[in-house]
Structure 1
Amino acid sequence: MNVSKRILVTAALLAVSAVALSGCTKKNDAAATSESGSSAVTVAFVPKLQGIPFFEAMNAGGAEAAKDLGFTWLYQGPTTADAAAQADIVRSFIQQKVSAIIVAPNDPDSLTPVLNEAAAAGIKVLTADTDAADSDREVFVSQASAEGIGEALTDQLMKATGGKGSYAIVSCGETASNLNSWIEVQKSYTASKYPDAKITDVVYAGEDQAKAASMATDLMNANPDLTGLVGECTTSAPGVAQAVKDAGKIGKVFTTGVGTPKSMLPYLQDGSSSASVLWDVENLGYLSAWAGQQLAEGNALQDSNDVKSDLTGVTFDPSTKVLLMGDPLILTADNAGDYSY
């Protein structure tokens, strides 16, 4: 091969290599958008569903913790509320040998084997938002107690309805242990404290706001005497409020739910929702990430933990391994606008 031909071949090979490297860079850049920090500790968070305001706010809080405290934060969840897809993401983080994995399981029972697999691989395993109590997780980061949330949802609705009437619950995943625990509290608390009120139905819309609205509409049509609706999660809370608004029943059918501030603000302002029961979601993400780092670095959680200036006195129960953030937050038309998520 003469010199000129060698030059042409070499140039062609360099061009191909440049294209290949460019493709790899773009792929890695996309993955890196969810990372922050530079220490040897890597904490990964796998939400129930990526892209909805609640878990995006948790991600923002986790990223803030990583920036403040100096560790790497990874965030990836399924695009639909799919336990199998969630398990696949956990397995990918096991293969990456992250230091800690935080999971909000869609189906605790089906996620337990892969959480145990992570623990067996030497990864610190935590759950947040929703627990998988039968797994080998070391800590459950709980936003508030089941009693606190269930009772607050009931009290806020009964405040609007005068402590009487019939109401239905539009929940999300049938296997979501946190939602189911709140519903059990609502059932017992309604029966004991509000004898003139009753729960007529509990239905499940998945993580689908439009489906929640449709199911709420069907409930109102099937029961003209219905006085209340509870949206048990951050997609069904705005869904039931939208259904009441569309039906022209504001002031006749009252709603409460577990909704994020920005999604609920219009409904709180027009009266289609009376209140939303939540907590500081970004702080929940921050606390989860902080706990992941603590475990990864071999630090024991204390009975009371001061995490940052607005996250103090966080209690840890070593018998249940529950890290409890605190009391729920009641969102109304007056304060929902104070939050950015």
Structure 2
Amino acid sequence: MKAAHYKSVVAGVGLALVLTGCGQGSGGSASGGDSGGESGGPTIAFVPKLQGIPYFEAMNAGGQAACEELGCTWLYQGPVEADAAAQADIVRSFIQQGVDVLFVAPNDPDSMAPLLQEAEDAGIKVGTTDTDAPDSVREVFVNQATAEGIGQALTDQIVDAMGGTGRYAIVSCGETAENLNSWIDVQREYTASQYPDVTLTDVVYAGEDQAAATQMATDLLNADPTLTGLVGECTSAAPGVAQAVQDAGRVGQVFTVGLGTPRSMADYLANGSSSASVLWNVQNLGYLTAWAGLQLSDDAGFEASNDVSSDLSGVEYDDSSKTLLLGPPLVITTENVGDFDY
């Protein structure tokens, strides 16, 4: 599903798409759910890590578009901060509502596992998307890209920006986020094995908070003047580390890359405080999640290769891990950042 196909849907969530930080508050649930994509058929609920940042709003737009095309009702609600307890409350609410299918991007996979069991016991089909809970009863994980693909791409991009030598640090988000931690493991191993002149010095955690990421990146730069690279491991940290370099007046001396949405990174790419963003088509991930929900609802299962839509063909499914794979990551630069609507 190409970005242009979503313009009518994205317009309905335009305000949310310009938000770059977390919602304010202290971990409570977001008020009200987004029930866009009501086209009858089974009800598919998606609980993101948090609601109101461009990344998950783009996933929401993709899920809405899929349900409008395929015939399902898409429900979307998340906490206003990346808080596991608040997310659990929303999951319980959807269980009580008796939705047909429930997808979660868990903040804490371990604590989410019993709730997914509770949903299954209530007759709800359950899956994970964006972030897995591998030790749960989830029936499918809709994966954006492999950990190896993302971790290696991030490493290649930061090392290239640094000129093949130097020291870099990572500003990550949630300490218990399974996907982020798996990427960092790859980055550690890949840096050590492939780039002997480069050292990964530190990993710090800012939560899903852009301002906190900026402050932590600033602290890293002040503590170690020899740093020449920063990686923002999620869509709030990527603009956060770029902002820190810009604020420090060190553009061209310290280089950053990260997992940032195109619109949030466009200005940083243009002014050189960010060299590249590694991501994937986030709207396609939402579309694939809704499609997978329909497959679960219909007990249709998945083939080794799945033609989901005209824009999502050959989507691979691994039965041993019960994983649908969107595809390889994208590298977003000044050359293609304008091709995306989110």
Alpha-carbon RMSD across the aligned residues, in angstroms, is 1.0
Aligned counterpart, 1:144: 145
Distance between the aligned counterparts of 2:328 and 2:36, measured in 1? 30
Map 1:184-223; keep pairs closer than 5 Å. 184-223=185-224
Distance between the aligned counterparts of 1:98 and 1:242, measured in 2? 41
1:115 matches 2:155:
no
Distance between the aligned counterparts of 2:162 and 2:285, measured in 1? 31
Q: Deviations over 1:205-239 (max 9, x none)?
A: 00000010000001001100101000000000000
1:238 matches 2:239:
yes
Aligned counterpart, 2:177: 176
Aligned counterpart, 1:320: 321
Distance between the aligned counterparts of 1:33 and 1:131, measured in 2? 23
Structure 1: 4+ residue segments shifted above 6 A: none
Distance between the aligned counterparts of 1:36 and 1:308, measured in 2? 17
**TM-score normalised to structure 1 length:** 0.90
Q: Deviations over 1:26-57 (max 9, x none)?
A: xxxx9575232332300000000000000000
Aligned counterpart, 1:55: 56
Distance between the aligned counterparts of 2:301 and 2:136, measured in 1? 20
Distance between the aligned counterparts of 1:308 and 1:85, measured in 2? 34
Distance between the aligned counterparts of 1:144 and 1:85, measured in 2? 27
Map 1:1-341; keep pairs closer than 5 Å. 33-341=34-342
Distance between the aligned counterparts of 1:251 and 1:36, measured in 2? 45
Distance between the aligned counterparts of 1:40 and 1:165, measured in 2? 55
Counterparts in 2 of 1:309 and 1:190: CA distance versus 1, 3 Å: same
Aligned counterpart, 1:19: none
1:200 shift after superposition: 0.7
Distance between the aligned counterparts of 1:313 and 1:32, measured in 2? 32
The AA in structure 2 aligned to 1:323 is L
The AA in structure 1 aligned to 2:278 is V
Say whether the 8 Å CA contact 2:55–2:261 is kept in structure 1. Answer: yes
The AA in structure 1 aligned to 2:55 is F
1:310 shift after superposition: 1.3
Distance between the aligned counterparts of 1:33 and 1:211, measured in 2? 27
Say whether the 8 Å CA contact 2:170–2:230 is kept in structure 1. Answer: yes
The AA in structure 2 aligned to 1:135 is S
The AA in structure 1 aligned to 2:170 is I
Describe the SS at the equivalent of 1:170.
Answer: strand
Distance between the aligned counterparts of 1:32 and 1:217, measured in 2? 36
Percent sequence identity over aligned pairs: 68
Distance between the aligned counterparts of 2:165 and 2:37, measured in 1? 50
Aligned counterpart, 1:18: none
Say whether the 8 Å CA contact 2:101–2:293 is kept in structure 1. Answer: yes
Structure (1 or 2) with the greater helix fraction:
1
Say whether the 8 Å CA contact 2:45–2:103 is kept in structure 1. Answer: yes
Distance between the aligned counterparts of 1:33 and 1:86, measured in 2? 15
Gaps of 5+ in 2: 1-30
Describe the SS at the equivalent of 2:227.
Answer: coil
Distance between the aligned counterparts of 1:85 and 1:208, measured in 2? 16
Distance between the aligned counterparts of 2:220 and 2:32, measured in 1? 43
The AA in structure 2 aligned to 1:185 is V
Q: Deviations over 1:143-193 (max 9, x none)?
A: 000000000000001111111100000000000000000000000000000
Counterparts in 2 of 1:32 and 1:206: CA distance versus 1, 3 Å: closer
Equivalences, count: 312
Aligned counterpart, 2:17: none
Say whether the 8 Å CA contact 2:255–2:274 is kept in structure 1. Answer: yes
1:68 shift after superposition: 0.2
Describe the SS at the equivalent of 1:227.
Answer: strand
Distance between the aligned counterparts of 2:164 and 2:194, measured in 1? 9
1:113 shift after superposition: 0.7
The AA in structure 2 aligned to 1:170 is V
The AA in structure 2 aligned to 1:276 is S
Distance between the aligned counterparts of 1:114 and 1:182, measured in 2? 25
Counterparts in 2 of 1:254 and 1:306: CA distance versus 1, 3 Å: same
Distance between the aligned counterparts of 2:166 and 2:93, measured in 1? 49
1:282 shift after superposition: 0.3
The AA in structure 1 aligned to 2:272 is G
Distance between the aligned counterparts of 1:267 and 1:37, measured in 2? 37
Distance between the aligned counterparts of 1:89 and 1:151, measured in 2? 34
Gaps of 5+ in 1: 1-29
Describe the SS at the equivalent of 1:105.
Answer: coil
The AA in structure 2 aligned to 1:307 is V
